[in-house]
Chains A and B, each alone.
Chain A
């Protein structure tokens, strides 16, 4: 009795709470706070990461151009922002500008609740839009339902990210393997390693890396319309269609042929990276976020990267966004700060520290390796080749994808079964959205 009444009360409170959230989310916008004397700024990048270094410089530049304004910078934890952004931005402890995750479930949700400032006008006026390619802009715009791709601009990314192939040059030379340019050549290269009893791919099946390989394979048969259908719900997606069938089938084949070790189903992303760093595997397919770390930590061999052979579409997107909370007390200062982060000086610094700047001047990038990284990104970005990530379309889809691909790795599911399994939550989400 007591218990049911308690939970009823808790439920009622929760209802009231969520009603309150939507009710008090209205707030004025406009060019307020031009005379503010301080700018509270939050981000969650480590001080030595590319973004951390570049943004420290941006803060310095901001102080120089805004004498008399105090910058209150706080380094936050990813988890704290991820879990509580809605509550924080609805309270009086709001920062004036913060880094926040792109995507429907994060920036999209907050924009829908009215907690973020519409940046459309500023973005046009200050020319941020022109610096971002169409596939980068996708994650900055959210419609009234909080779905990305169209509508108003709510955030500005400084950097991009994409999935590529990292390879151990020493092992490639040792086994006389050339850098492949087509999928067939790539498979032939991996066959060579298997014959020499070397498992070619370092894969973390317990986390995001495996599903990105699966998606990469599906993308090799896909075009932009498929990505729009899958990610932006433009049309219905057939999970048994040629793209996903090829992805799942080929992934299963790769496991069968020994390109992917059976035990990788339980490997975490961190261990995947460390295993590659130790030179235990010749190839690793993962994102640009490893780049800076490999550059500083791989000492025992030469390494390089190439784009997934044969693909025009690659998993990847803009990085996290600068957003301005609706309750920010120094909006125009926040706009000035965003403007500084888009300047070549800051962008080049980001590039020279192993990051992927969105608006760099490649002439200003001194390191040859970083230049390759940024050139490859420019190649994908300019041909509108960023296909986002497989777990984006539905809430909680990440775990579904991990489970599905793990099934393929340990052979407990056929490709057909795996696709049926991942199709269901996707369709359920569409139904929830009323599409």
Chain B
């Protein structure tokens, strides 16, 4: 926290008074040091996972979790991949996350357009409702959802998960986007109206393009959140052919035994896709966050 707060400080000061620049240098190194320590703290668990993922079980047993592996042992990863048919799980996870994030963004935009710009009556209550739905723990939802999906014959099908998460994510999206749209510049809307644009045209040609950075952020978050969901997929995706990545990782957790090296291997290949996705969309994220600040 302190590092984050002091970092911009030194930069602005060095700009305004170049004379102090050289004397301020030690402070910069301190900041750098603190940042490095923080970085290490964040990366350390991942490093331990990576270390143990490529360690042979007997190496782990005799030298413990923190030692450097004696030789690279890829069997854990390969075995796990084949054992749970990991390619299939990746595909399942990718399909659900992608479909959910697209649908949830569309739904959020439509809702928020009505609530934030359309200013329908009772919108505050709508927002409170969405917020409460968001705060509801998933455990409460399980039984109702189970019986609903069973009577619709969607139990043990990816569709159930897609529908459920589209609703859950768009509840949050609606809440967030509505407050963004409430601040939407009325000049733009008025101009569109003068040009004779209808409601749909205004939404499609004006509102969506202007808020695209925010939508990209929502899309990215929805994707990663859905990717990491464990509890509801665990309940709803019964057949191995339908399971998502986090559910497949659970296969290694036994009754009393745990296989530390294979678990690490699975954890590593389990988080890699989400991290890759994050890296790819990292620029849209930062752009989306700063987009509001400039205007």
Are B257 and A80 in contact, with the CB atoms below 8 A?
no
Q: Judge if A184 is at the interface, Cβ distance under 8 Å.
A: no
Which chain B residue has the least Cβ–Cβ distance from A298?
A: B61
Are A277 and B61 in contact, with the CB atoms below 8 A?
yes
Q: Judge if A14 is at the interface, Cβ distance under 8 Å.
A: yes
Q: Mark A286-298, 1 if CB is under 8 A from B, else 0.
A: 0101100100111
Are A278 and B64 in contact, with the CB atoms below 8 A?
yes
Q: Judge if A270 is at the interface, Cβ distance under 8 Å.
A: yes
Are A46 and B259 in contact, with the CB atoms below 8 A?
yes
Stretch from A2-10, A60-68, A185-193, A359-367 contacting the other chain:
A2-10
Are B83 and A75 in contact, with the CB atoms below 8 A?
yes
Interface residues on A, range: 35 or more
Are A269 and B256 in contact, with the CB atoms below 8 A?
yes
Stretch from B3-11, B108-116, B125-133, B205-213 contacting the other chain:
B125-133
Residues of A within 8 A of B (CB): 2-3, 6-7, 10, 13-14, 16-18, 20, 44-47, 49, 74-80, 83-84, 87-88, 91-93, 101, 208, 269-270, 274, 277-278, 287, 289-290, 293, 296-300, 320
Which chain B residue has the least Cβ–Cβ distance from A77?
A: B250
Are A74 and B239 in contact, with the CB atoms below 8 A?
yes
A289 to B254, CA, bound (A): 11
Q: Judge if B144 is at the interface, Cβ distance under 8 Å.
A: yes
B257 touches which one: A2, A47, A74, A293 (CB < 8 A)? A293
Are A13 and B144 in contact, with the CB atoms below 8 A?
yes
Given that A80-B234, A297-B61 are known contacts, is A87 also in contact with B250, CB under 8 Å in the complex?
no
Q: Judge if B238 is at the interface, Cβ distance under 8 Å.
A: yes
Are B247 and A77 in contact, with the CB atoms below 8 A?
yes
A293 to B62, CA, bound (A): 13
Which chain B residue has the least Cβ–Cβ distance from A320?
A: B255
Are A277 and B62 in contact, with the CB atoms below 8 A?
yes
B147 touches which one: A17, A47, A76, A84 (CB < 8 A)? A17
Contact residues, B92-138 vs A (CB, 8 A): 125, 128-129, 132-133, 136
| Listed residue (A13, A293, A296) with the most chain B CB atoms within 10 angstroms of its CB | A13
B146 touches which one: A3, A74, A87 (CB < 8 A)? A87
Are B61 and A14 in contact, with the CB atoms below 8 A?
no
A20 to B238, CA, bound (A): 21
Q: Judge if B258 is at the interface, Cβ distance under 8 Å.
A: yes
A80 to B251, CA, bound (A): 8
Q: Judge if B188 is at the interface, Cβ distance under 8 Å.
A: no
Q: Judge if B2 is at the interface, Cβ distance under 8 Å.
A: no
Given that A87-B146, A278-B64 are known contacts, is A287 also in contact with B250, CB under 8 Å in the complex?
no
Given that A208-B256, A289-B257, A297-B57 are known contacts, is A274 also in contact with B132, CB under 8 Å in the complex?
no
Are A278 and B251 in contact, with the CB atoms below 8 A?
no
Taking chain A's interface residues, is the majority helix, strand, or loop, or is none over half, making it mixed? helix
Are A2 and B128 in contact, with the CB atoms below 8 A?
yes
Given that A3-B132, A93-B239, A297-B58 are known contacts, is A101 also in contact with B255, CB under 8 Å in the complex?
yes
Are A91 and B256 in contact, with the CB atoms below 8 A?
no
- Kindly provide the distance from the CB of A428 to the nearest chain B CB, expressed in whole angstroms: 23
| Listed residue (B62, B141, B238) with the most chain A CB atoms within 10 angstroms of its CB | B238
A159 to B147, CA, bound (A): 36
Are B136 and A6 in contact, with the CB atoms below 8 A?
yes
| Listed residue (B83, B252, B256) with the most chain A CB atoms within 10 angstroms of its CB | B256
Are B234 and A83 in contact, with the CB atoms below 8 A?
yes
Are A300 and B62 in contact, with the CB atoms below 8 A?
yes
Are A79 and B253 in contact, with the CB atoms below 8 A?
yes
> Which residues on B sit within 8 Å (CB–CB) of A45?
254
> Which residues on B sit within 8 Å (CB–CB) of A278?
61-64
> Which residues on A sit within 8 Å (CB–CB) of B61?
274, 277-278, 297-298
- Kindly provide the distance from the CB of B161 to the nearest chain A CB, expressed in whole angstroms: 14
Given that A10-B140, A13-B144, A83-B235 are known contacts, is A270 also in contact with B132, CB under 8 Å in the complex?
no
* Contact sample, A vs B, 6 pairs, CB 8 Å cutoff: A7-B140, A20-B147, A44-B251, A75-B83, A77-B247, A297-B58
Closest 4 CB pairs of A and B: A77-B250, A297-B61, A17-B143, A13-B144
> Which residues on A sit within 8 Å (CB–CB) of B21?
none
Which chain B residue has the least Cβ–Cβ distance from A76?
A: B251
Given that A46-B259, A297-B61 are known contacts, is A6 also in contact with B146, CB under 8 Å in the complex?
no
- Kindly provide the distance from the CB of A289 to the nearest chain B CB, expressed in whole angstroms: 5
Given that A2-B128, A289-B257 are known contacts, is A14 also in contact with B144, CB under 8 Å in the complex?
yes
Q: Mark B59-93, 1 if CB is under 8 A from A, else 0.
A: 01111100000000000000000011000000000
Are A17 and B132 in contact, with the CB atoms below 8 A?
no
> Which residues on B sit within 8 Å (CB–CB) of A287?
256
> Which residues on B sit within 8 Å (CB–CB) of A6?
132-133, 136
Are A78 and B258 in contact, with the CB atoms below 8 A?
no
- Kindly provide the distance from the CB of A256 to the nearest chain B CB, expressed in whole angstroms: 29
- Kindly provide the distance from the CB of A366 to the nearest chain B CB, expressed in whole angstroms: 23
Are B240 and A74 in contact, with the CB atoms below 8 A?
yes
> Which residues on B sit within 8 Å (CB–CB) of A320?
255
Which chain B residue has the least Cβ–Cβ distance from A280?
A: B64
> Which residues on B sit within 8 Å (CB–CB) of A293?
257
> Which residues on B sit within 8 Å (CB–CB) of A93?
155-156, 238-239
Q: Judge if B283 is at the interface, Cβ distance under 8 Å.
A: no
Q: Mark B229-250, 1 if CB is under 8 A from A, else 0.
A: 0000011001110000001001
Q: Judge if B201 is at the interface, Cβ distance under 8 Å.
A: no
Which chain B residue has the least Cβ–Cβ distance from A45?
A: B254
> Which residues on A sit within 8 Å (CB–CB) of B63?
278
> Which residues on B sit within 8 Å (CB–CB) of A44?
251, 254-255
Are B234 and A79 in contact, with the CB atoms below 8 A?
yes
A171 to B108, CA, bound (A): 67
- Kindly provide the distance from the CB of B251 to the nearest chain A CB, expressed in whole angstroms: 4
Given that A10-B140, A14-B144 are known contacts, is A47 also in contact with B83, CB under 8 Å in the complex?
yes
> Which residues on B sit within 8 Å (CB–CB) of A75?
83-84, 240, 251
A80 to B250, CA, bound (A): 8
A112 to B184, CA, bound (A): 59
> Which residues on A sit within 8 Å (CB–CB) of B150?
91-92
Are A299 and B253 in contact, with the CB atoms below 8 A?
no
> Which residues on A sit within 8 Å (CB–CB) of B257?
46, 49, 289-290, 293
> Which residues on A sit within 8 Å (CB–CB) of B260?
270
